Amino acid sequence: MLGVKRNAVSIVAREFQPIGAIEYTRGRVTVLDTNLLSEISCECHAWLQREIGKLFDTTITPECND
């Protein structure tokens, strides 16, 4: 679903999990702190949020960020 290889996700997850941004277990990613994740992610996060908003012609609900 992310469009990247599993090992790439594992590499990033190993960086984001210890600082409390996400929890990653058996291929399941749970976002624990959306603000922290936004701060440490690249500009791609903001771009993706805008593009999803255009695609659905609506703003992203808070539930999508949990």
Instruction: List alpha helices for 1-66, DSSP H.
Output: 6-16, 34-40, 44-56
**What string of DSSP letters covers 15-37?**
HHTTTTSEEEETTEEEES-HHHH
**Mean of the per-residue pLDDT values of the chain:** 81
What pLDDT is stored for residue 32 in this prediction? Answer: 94
Place of tokens 């603000």: 35
C-alpha span between 32 and 28 (Å, rounded)? 13
Q: Is the pLDDT of residue 47 over 80?
A: yes
